[in-house]
């Protein structure tokens, strides 16, 4: 457990017109048979009905978060594939 966030979450409330962005990260289990705990941190909230500038800011933040998650996902896949290739030799 490196206490780094690798999970990104977004929610959209249709009634309020808000986009909320979160990250989630695991914490080390505290006991021998304990499960890890997960913490969620809100990165931001955007009222999309406020106007075009707020909408663009929200869209940019969402895309940046999505791209960041993709970079981590691709790195994890490459590391896993390298381990599998090493086991096959």
Dump pLDDT digits (tens) for 9-59: 999 999 999 999 999 988 888 888 888 888 999 999 999 988 999 999 999
pLDDT of residue 28: 83
Domain ranges of the chain: 7-88
The answer on pLDDT for 2 being more than 80 is: no
Q: What is the pLDDT of residue 87?
A: 82
Q: Has residue 78 got a pLDDT over 80?
A: yes
What pLDDT, on the 0 to 100 scale, is given for residue 33? Answer: 82
Q: What is the DSSP letter of 4?
A: -
In this predicted structure, what is the pLDDT of residue 11? 96
Q: State residue 29 phi and psi, 5-degree precision.
A: -60, 145
Find where tokens 């999970």 sit.
7
d(CA 47, CA 17): 6
């Amino acid at each position: 457990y490196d206490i780094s966030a690798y999970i990104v979450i977004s929610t959209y409330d249709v009634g309020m017109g808000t986009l909320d962005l979160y990250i989630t990260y695991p914490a080390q289990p505290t006991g021998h048979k304990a499960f890890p705990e997960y913490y969620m941190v809100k990165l931001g909230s955007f009222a999309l009905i406020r106007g075009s500038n707020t909408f663009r800011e929200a869209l940019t933040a969402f895309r940046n978060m999505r791209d960041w998650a993709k970079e981590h996902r691709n790195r994890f896949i490459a590391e896993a594939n390298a381990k599998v290739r090493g086991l096959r030799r």
